[in-house]
A and B are shown apart, each in its own frame.
Chain A
Amino acid sequence: DAGVIQSPRHEVTEMGQEVTLRCKPISGHNSLFWYRQTMMRGLELLIYFNNNVPIDDSGMPEDRFSAKMPNASFSTLKIQPSEPRDSAVYFCAITLAGDRSTQYFGPGTRLTVL
């Protein structure tokens, strides 16, 4: 996960609050992915960007979730309003230009919504 920085690493919030998760990939990446992992549903792809453009957001659970990639070095995943069922570990991953076969994952953000 050396190539992807996620913040915060842990987030505890109350139901109804807005939550923003951040991902900072290394330079030279091609695509960026947001995943969610829970015990019940496993690892799910939420959305991915290619060259900063959203390509597939079919995994985004509902309108409360939104993701942006304003530039090549930064992406956010926002949940507004948050609900207890959003509690999960959220991973950001990237592929590098010229090597679409390998995804490099960040360390994840553990979100707890009370």
Chain B
Amino acid sequence: DAKTTQPPSMDCAEGRAANLPCNHSTISGNEYVYWYRQIHSQGPQYIIHGLKNNETNEMASLIITEDRKSSTLILPHATLRDTAVYYCIVAGNTDKLIFGTGTRLQVFP
């Protein structure tokens, strides 16, 4: 069973920041927060991951609360190509990822 809770869908205007929340209240101390996305008809794509510090890369920023029970993925300037299903996954330092139902982000012009 997935250990995360995400809203089923969100909308965002093109050019604006998209903030996707994720709750993981049962996260363990050695578990990471991973974000993947899946654009229609493609395989999932890795975005970012973190343990407890905020992380940023060329795709997005990840903000993890101090108690680590929730996090937010930020796409700073959403484009139409960011329309996808976004998965928040909690996993230990292991290869196994359990995907939940994710958040369907719709970016509109």
Contact = CB atoms under 8 A, between A and B. Distances in A.
Nearest to B87: A43
Q: Which 3 A-B pairs have the closest CB atoms?
A: A105-B43, A43-B99, A102-B46
Contact of A50 (B95, B98, B100): B95
Interface stretch (A13-21, A77-85, A93-101): A93-101
Given A95-B95, A100-B95, A101-B32, A42 B45 contact: no
Interface of A: 1, 4, 31, 33, 35, 42-45, 48, 50, 55-56, 91, 93, 95, 100-108
Chief secondary structure at chain B's binding surface: loop
Contacts, number: 51
B81 interface: no
B95 A108 contact: no
B44 interface: yes
A44 B100 CA distance: 9
16 contacts: A1-B42, A1-B43, A31-B95, A35-B99, A42-B101, A43-B38, A43-B99, A44-B99, A50-B95, A93-B43, A103-B44, A103-B95, A105-B43, A105-B45, A107-B42, A107-B43
